[in-house]
């Protein structure tokens, strides 16, 4: 490995130095009049190098970001080491992507740049101008976005695809206090508080009770909740019409959790005695909950992935041939069993069963939405590879339990992904040949 790296580095450096050497021959003694600084290698990473110019550029970008947050900059040598380590990890992943045949087309890159600009409320031209104001090159920004897209796809293949969540893990999470908290209904609430001080006399408590009941009657007769809160409530948010924001059902103390769950938006609870006094809650909005009507699609697909032995173009051509064979009458399920590289569906003939479109990557979801039931799609590309899909049916279903299970799966997958990603990054860093020159 060391000899290979040395040869590659020498080749790269000789290519960089050749123009300078030729220039020296023509300049003769003038070379001695002025010493020109040249770029230098700051790290060797497997079969590639990181240059001082790359490090300087990234340090400048990080300094700009830190300055915008108003934070203090760490010492220069500490920042330099941190940034260099980040570049090394990125470089290793980019080399993995290159060996795996991952390529980002100009069209994909343009779409990504446009999406970034839109998220910041800008056009592409405005985005370019904003970069210039920060002293950043638009071409450098495009290159960084391309690098991040490659890295994202490498992580998808090497990390995300090997994460498994078992049914038992899902059920354990749903039964846990944390699961109930994260997946419970959410309510947008407002309140009116009629206070009762500690140690108040029975007469004072009764007077507060009568006041709360009178307010409740007014609300039942159509009085404006916000106006009553502003004029009568002792709560901290009285001047905001009593609005207290979103609360999950699990965050509400009994009996409010059950009372609010039974309300429809716009309704109020009866006054409830609490340690601080009598409280009336109004439900402004509700989200989540036990009734979730959603559209589902029954779909099957064949997935083909580019690899070290099959290029992107070869993979696309194979997907086109399989599409033509299915169009000619060959059995979709048999071809999926023989060719599909989706381990979760290949043995089932590519069948993904009934699935929520929102659980799919945008590229797959968009093609599926445009494909009529009973029809086959043309080959298309997603971050996973090349697909051919067939829509078998569509339905709308009340699937609260399935929705909660899918939410639990997403929570558990995200948690496992973060853990698995950090372990994988440590692994590839340990396995790589890295020599720093700082």
pLDDT in tens, 229-287: 998 998 888 888 899 998 877 677 788 878 888 888 999 999 999 988 999 999 999 87
pLDDT at residue 422 in the model: 86
DSSP-assigned states of every residue in 348-405: GTTEEEEE-GGGS-HHHHHHHHHSPTT-BPPPEEETTEEEEEEEEEEEEEE-HHHHHH
For residue 339, which of 310, 375, 377, 378 has the smallest C-alpha distance?
Answer: 310
Average pLDDT of the chain is 84
Q: Name the residue with higher pLDDT: 323 or 26.
A: 323
The pLDDT assigned to 289 comes to 58
* pLDDT reading at 103 higher than 60: yes
Q: Does position 19 have pLDDT exceeding 50, yes or no?
A: no
Non-local CB neighbours of 157 within 8 Å, separated by 6+ positions: 100, 305, 384
Angle at 237 between CA 236 and CA 239, to 5 degrees: 115
Q: What would be the CATH architecture of the domain defined by 41-161? A: Orthogonal Bundle (1.10)
Q: How confident is the model at residue 349 (pLDDT cuts 50, 70, 90)?
A: very high
- Distances, alpha carbon 122 to alpha carbons 111, 112, 206, 297, in Å: 14, 13, 59, 35
Distances 193 to 130, 153, 205 between C-alpha atoms, Å: 49, 53, 13
- Mapping DSSP to helix (H, G, I), strand (E, B) and coil, where does residue 301 land? strand
Q: What is the mean pLDDT of residues 340-360?
A: 90
Output the pLDDT for position 291: 52
CATH topology match: 41-161 vs 293-399:
no
Q: What percent of the chain has pLDDT over 90?
A: 47
Domain boundaries, the chain: 41-161, 186-287, 293-399
d(CA 151, CA 296): 31
**Topology annotation, domain 293-399:** Chitinase A; domain 3 (3.10.50)
* 3-state secondary structure (DSSP) of residue 293: strand
Better-scored residue on pLDDT, 379 or 57: 379
Exposed/middle/buried for residue 299 (C-beta within 10 Å: 0-12, 13-18, 19+)? buried
Report whether the peptide linkage leading into residue 355 is cis, meaning its omega lies within 30 degrees of zero: no
pLDDT of residue 381: 94
pLDDT at 315: 94
Query: Mind listing the pLDDT tens digit for each residue in 377-429?
Result: 999 999 999 999 999 999 877 556 777 788 788 888 888 888 888 889 989 99
Question: What's the pLDDT at 240?
Answer: 87
> How far apart are the C-alpha atoms of 288 and 248, rounded to whole Å?
10
The percentage of residues in the chain with a pLDDT greater than 70, rounded to a whole number, is 89
Q: Distance between alpha carbon 354 and the CA centroid of its chain, in Å?
A: 24
**Complete DSSP assignment for 19-45:** HHHHHHHHHGGGGGG-PPP---EEEEE
| Mean pLDDT on 117-124 | 88
**In sequence order, which residues have a C-beta less than 8 Å from that of residue 267 and are 6 or more positions away?**
282, 283
The span from the CA of 331 to the CA of 335, in Å, is 6
The better pLDDT of the pair 247, 292 is held by 247
Class of domain 186-287: alpha beta
Distance CA 125, CA 145 (A): 16
Better-scored residue on pLDDT, 70 or 189: 189
Question: What CA–CA distance (Å, rounded) separates 113 from 78?
Answer: 31
Is the CB of residue 326 less than 8 Å from the CB of residue 376? yes
pLDDT, residue 31, reads: 38
How many of the other CB atoms lie within 10 Å of CB of 136? 17
- DSSP three-state, residue 70: coil
Buried residues in 169-200 as b, exposed as e (16+ CB within 10 A): ebeebbeeeebeeebbbbbbbbbbbbebeeee
pLDDT of residue 177: 78
Phi and psi dihedrals of 222, rounded to 5?
Answer: 105, 10
Question: What is the arithmetic mean of pLDDT over 28-44?
Answer: 62
Q: Kindly report the pTM of this predicted structure.
A: 0.51
Whole-number Å distance between alpha carbons of 188 and 174: 23
pLDDT score for 265? 92
Indicate the pLDDT class of residue 52, thresholds 50, 70 and 90: very high
């Amino acid at each position: 490995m060391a000899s290979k790296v040395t040869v590659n580095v020498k080749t790269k450096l000789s290519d960089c130095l050749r123009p300078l050497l030729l220039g020296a021959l023509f300049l003769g003694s003038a070379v001695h009049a002025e010493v020109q600084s040249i770029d230098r290698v700051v790290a060797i990473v497997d079969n590639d190098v990181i240059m001082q110019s790359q490090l300087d550029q990234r340090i400048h970008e990080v300094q700009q970001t830190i300055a915008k947050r108003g934070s203090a900059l760490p010492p220069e040598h500490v920042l330099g080491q941190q940034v260099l380590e980040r570049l090394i990890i990125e470089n290793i992943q980019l080399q993995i992507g290159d060996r795996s045949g991952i390529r980002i087309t100009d069209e994909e890159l343009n779409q990504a740049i446009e999406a970034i600009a839109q998220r910041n409320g800008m056009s592409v031209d405005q985005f370019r101008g904003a970069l210039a104001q920060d002293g950043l090159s638009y071409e450098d920004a495009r290159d960084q976005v391309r690098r991040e897209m490659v890295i994202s796809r490498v992580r998808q293949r090497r990390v995300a695809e090997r994460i498994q969540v078992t049914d038992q893990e899902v059920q354990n999470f749903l039964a846990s206090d944390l699961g109930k908290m994260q997946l419970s209904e959410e309510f947008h609430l407002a309140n009116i508080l009629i206070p009762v001080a500690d140690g108040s006399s029975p007469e004072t408590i009764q007077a507060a009770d009568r006041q709360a009941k009178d307010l409740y009657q007014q609300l039942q007769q159509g009085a404006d909740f916000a106006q009553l809160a502003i004029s009568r409530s002792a709560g901290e948010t009285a001047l905001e019409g009593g609005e207290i924001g979103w609360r999950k059902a699990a965050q509400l103390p009994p009996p409010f959790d059950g009372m609010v769950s039974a309300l429809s938006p716009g309704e109020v609870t009866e006054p409830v005695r609490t340690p601080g006094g009598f409280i009336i809650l109004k439900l402004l909005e509700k989200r989540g909950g036990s009734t979730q009507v959603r559209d589902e699609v029954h779909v099957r697909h064949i997935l083909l992935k580019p690899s070290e032995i099959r290029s992107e173009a070869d993979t696309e051509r194979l997907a086109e041939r399989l599409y033509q064979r299915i169009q000619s009458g060959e059995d979709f399920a048999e071809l999926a069993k023989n060719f599909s590289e989706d381990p979760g569906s290949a043995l089932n003939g590519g069948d993904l069963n009934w699935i929520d479109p929102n659980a799919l990557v945008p590229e797959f979801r968009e093609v599926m939405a445009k494909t009529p039931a009973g029809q086959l799609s043309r080959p298309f590309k997603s971050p996973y590879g090349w697909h051919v899909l067939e829509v078998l049916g569509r339905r709308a279903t009340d699937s609260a339990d399935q929705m909660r299970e899918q939410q639990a799966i997403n929570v558990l997958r995200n948690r496992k992904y973060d853990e698995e990603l950090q372990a994988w990054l440590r692994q590839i860093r340990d396995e790589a040949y890295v020599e720093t020159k700082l």
